[in-house]
Structure formats: C-alpha cells, structure tokens
Amino acid sequence: MKKMSAPQMSDAELVAGIKRMKQEKDIVVLAHFYVQDDIQDVADYIGDSYQLAKLATTTPQQTVCFCGVNFMGESAKILSPDKKIIMPDINAGCPMADMISSDEIERVKAQYDDLAVVAYVNTTAETKAHSDVCVTSSNCLQIVRSLPQKNIYFIPDVNLGSYIKSQLPEKNVILHDGFCCVHHKIRVAAVQEMIAAHPDYKILVHPEAQAEVVALGNVVGSTKVLLDEVKKNDAPGYIVCTEVGILHQMKKAAPGKEFLVPTRTQTCRSMKRNTLQKLYDAMHTLTPEIKMDEELMQQALRPLEKMMELAESKVSTL
C-alpha cells in the first residue's frame, strides 16, 4: 500500500504551533541574529552569542530551543546541565570551531610559563576544556585586559585575535590561524568602493573580518554592538560588514535607511540550516537534544563560568 506522507503545514500554521508549544511545553526559543527572519520573528529572544548564553541560564523555562549553531547549544548545556537543550538542527556547526586541536593548544602551553589560553566561544567543548577562559566578541577586550598573564594564546580566530592584539599592545597575543569563512571573505576593495560611493554612510564591522576591513570600520563589535549603533539612527545609511541575517533587526531599527552589504558571500550556511519546519519539529518531538559527556562538561564549564564572571564584573566596552 502506498505510504501517506504528513500534510505540509503552512508557515502560518507552523508559527501558530510554535507559539502554542512554547506555552504548553514551557519552552523558551532563543535565536541568534544570523538565523533567518521568520525564526527571529517567532523567537522569545534574539541576541549575540554572549547574550544568548546568558539567557539560556537565566530564563526560567526548563527547555531551551536554541536556534543557532551547535557550539551555542553546547555552551548552554554546559552552563545549565539540568535543562533540556534542543536545537532545530543539531548538525549546524561553525566550521571555525573545528580549526584547532587540543594537541596544538598543549604544544603552545608547554612553551610558556606565564600563559593564558583564551578560547573564542566558537569552539568545541574539548577545546574549551583545554582553555583558561572563553570570550565572545562583546567581552574579549575587557576579559583579556583583566587577565594577569602577559602571554595570551588566542584561539582559533586569527582576525578577532589580531583585533585584540591591536587594541591591547601591553599583551603578547599569540595567534592561531582559524577564521570564519563568512567574515574572512569580505573584501577590503569592495568596502572601499562602497565608501567612495557613499562617504556619509556608517561602516559597521564585526571583528571576525580581516584587519584591513576592521581598520575601515566606524564601529567594530559584536552583532549586538552593531545593531545598537543602528538604533541610534543617526546616519543616512550603513555599510554592513557581517552576516546578512542581522539586517532583519537593523531594518526594523532604522526603517527607510539604506543597508549595503559589500560582498555576496556574507551568508552563514550553518545558521541558515535552522528552518521554521525544523523548529516546529524540534519543539514537537523535543529532539534533537544536546547530550554530552559529563566529565567533558565539567572541564568545559570552568572557562565558560570564568567568562561569565569576568564579563559581568564591568559593563562590556566593545
């Protein structure tokens, strides 16, 4: 007999179902600024990676549905082991997270007495377990500045690491060679051409972009920092050097303003693996769920907790 497939639900039905399940199943939906617009619109909170990590621990719901990439879901689980953390697509991974191995970290550790291993939060739990403290782009300057060690091994992003190095000359920042394929490909020549055509537009740059692009930024910072700049609504337009998902909130913050994107490759395929249908299915089945080795979670908790402690000790400046 021919198998009947389930009838397709419309987007409106999916949204209605997601809203209903939030109430019925006590689920909070968190979404990164880079996920697609329809998910941002149905989420309870949208934020940068630091805001979302914090919200995963502070929101009262016992189930968190994390719409982002899997290091974000893992960090939420490590920080809130008693909560159920589900994701629309557990295979949405950040390629940069796999660009460093524990062996490489241990090799550098062996070369210095006075060294702090500072891991960008875009890393695996195993990498975190070999690190002293995690950072995001919203708190990296504040945290690295506050560390007693002079030697800082910043992993894995060479671009964010170079930015930290340029801002904190008192530290000896040792760089790794990882990068974000989305931000690394933003071409300086394309940004310069846009600046020439629109000299009065503000240039907003995420520090995962290359140093030449960062140098052109009027504002350099995390996704939240860039959005906050647009909320001031004091420029005729903006040249946006980060992933295009953020444009959804930027356009809401400054309606009628022009937003220009210098290169065509500013889309994170991993973030776009999250779809409305997968979000609905995850909430319906409460799977896929983040499951991790207990011992690894314990080891990775220390640098994440240290980040929370140091980031909260003073208001972030980046």
* CA 151 – CA 168 distance, rounded (Å): 12
Task: Give me the least distance between CB of 137 and ligand 13P, in Å please.
Answer: 5
Task: Give me the least distance between CB of 46 and ligand 13P, in Å please.
Answer: 10
Among ligand SF4, ligand 13P, none, residue 95 binds (CB under 5-8 Å by kind): ligand SF4
**Type of residue numbered 254:** A
- Verify binding: residue 96, ligand SF4, rule CB under 6 A: yes
CA 140, 142, 146, 149: dihedral to nearest 10 degrees? 30
Helix ranges (H only) for the chain are: 11-25, 37-42, 49-58, 70-79, 102-109, 125-129, 140-146, 158-167, 181-184, 188-197, 211-214, 223-231, 247-253, 276-285, 294-312
- Verify binding: residue 180, ligand SF4, rule CB under 6 A: yes
- Verify binding: residue 182, ligand SF4, rule CB under 6 A: yes
> Hey, which residues between 219 and 248 contact ligand SF4 (CB under 6 A)?
243
> Hey, which residues between 194 and 213 contact ligand SF4 (CB under 6 A)?
208
Q: 34 or 154: whose CB is closer to ligand SF4?
A: 34
* CA 225 – CA 229 distance, rounded (Å): 6
- Verify binding: residue 270, ligand SF4, rule CB under 6 A: yes
Q: 209: closest CA among 153, 156, 162?
A: 162
Q: 63 or 75: whose CB is closer to ligand 13P?
A: 75
* CA 258 – CA 57 distance, rounded (Å): 36
Among ligand 13P, ligand SF4, none, residue 276 binds (CB under 5-8 Å by kind): none
Q: 27 or 69: whose CB is closer to ligand SF4?
A: 69
**Type of residue numbered 289:** E
Task: Give me the least distance between CB of 64 and ligand 13P, in Å please.
Answer: 17
Helix ranges (H only) for 215-275 are: 223-231, 247-253
Task: List residues binding ligand SF4 (CB under 6 A).
Answer: 34, 69, 94-96, 122, 180-182, 208, 243, 268, 270-271
